[in-house]
Amino acid sequence: GQQVMQIPQYQHVQEGEDFTTYCNSSTTLSNIQWYKQRPGGHPVFLIQLVKSGEVKKQKRLTFQFGEAKKNSSLHITATQTTDVGTYFCAGNFNKFYFGSGTKLNVKP
Amino acid sequence: DGGITQSPKYLFRKEGQNVTLSCEQNLNHDAMYWYRQDPGQGLRLIYYSQIVNDFQKGDIAEGYSVSREKKESFPLTVTSAQKNPTAFYLCASSIATGNTEAFFGQGTRLTVV
C-alpha cells in the first residue's frame, strides 16, 4: 500500500540553529501537506504543495516539493522555542496518509 | 463558532467493554476521518468517510467500527476485539477527500485497564 516515510524521527537543536525534515513517498503524490502538532495538542495544517518543484515560504519556514512529486522537505531557519513540536507530512492518495513525524526539540 | 469537537477528552474503560468516541463537526465537510496515535508515533488511519452513509476501512480497521448516518457526525466504536486499544484517537474532517486541508479535533485519550 501507499507509504510516506519521514526522517529524522527526532531532532534536538540549539535555539538559532536550522532544522530540516524530509518526507519520501513510494509513489507519486497528487499533493503533499504539512502539519504541526504541539506537545499535548492536535495536528494543525501548515501548508499544501501541489506543483512539481514547488517552493513556498512562511516566514522562517520553507517548504519544497520534489520534481518527481515523490519527496518533500520542511526547513526552519533560526529555530525558536515556539517551533517545538512534531512536524508531519501527509501524502494524499484520496485520503491522508501521514508520515511518522519528526519531533523537534529546541533548547534555549 | 465552527469546528470539530471530540468528546470526551479522557476516557477510561475496563478490558472487554466496547466504547464509543464522539466526533461532531459543523464545518459542512463531506469527508471525515479517524486516526490513532501511539506515543512517539505518527497517525494511522482507522476509517474514513467521503460522504454520508458511506465509509471505508483504513490501514488498521480491525477491532473498530464506525457509522456515518449524519453529515455532522462520525462516531468510532472501539470493540473488545481490538487487542491494544489504549491510544490517543484523533478525528478530522475536510471539505472532500483530495487536495483540501484536514481540520482535527482535540483528540480523545482512551485508557483501557
- DSSP-derived 3-state class of residue B32: strand
Percent of chain B with pLDDT over 70: 96
User: CA of A18 to nearest chain B CA: how many angstroms apart?
Assistant: 22
**pLDDT higher than 60, residue B100:** yes
**pLDDT higher than 70, residue A77:** yes
Nearest-Cα residue of chain B relative to residue A47: B101
For residue A66, give the C-alpha cell: 520534489
Is B78 within 8 Å of B110 (Cβ atoms)? yes
B77 HSE (CA, 13 A, CB side): 10
Q: Which one of A43, A95, A103 has the shortest CB-CB distance to B104?
A: A43
For residue B95, give the C-alpha cell: 471539505
Residue with cell 495544517: A45
Angle at B31 between CA A102 and CA B36, to 5 degrees: 40
Q: Kindly state the average pLDDT of the residues B86-102.
A: 89
For residue A107, give the C-alpha cell: 533548547
Which range, of A88-97, B17-26, B68-77, B83-92, averages the lowest pLDDT? A88-97
| DSSP summary character for residue A78 | S
Helix residue ranges, H only, A1-108: none
CA distances from B5 to A86, A89, B56, B104 (A): 22, 23, 21, 8
Beta partners for B37?
B43, B88
First to last CA, chain B: 36
Q: Kindly state the average pLDDT of the residues A27-46.
A: 93
User: CA of B16 to nearest chain A CA: how many angstroms apart?
Assistant: 28
- DSSP-derived 3-state class of residue B18: coil
Is A104 within 8 Å of A15 (Cβ atoms)? no
Chosen from A34, A92, A95 to mutate, greatest number of chain B CBs within 10 A: A95
Residue with cell 519544497: A64
Q: Cβ separation of A95 and B45 shorter than 8 Å?
A: yes
User: CA of A17 to nearest chain B CA: how many angstroms apart?
Assistant: 23
What pLDDT score does A19 carry?
98
Percent of chain B with pLDDT over 90: 82
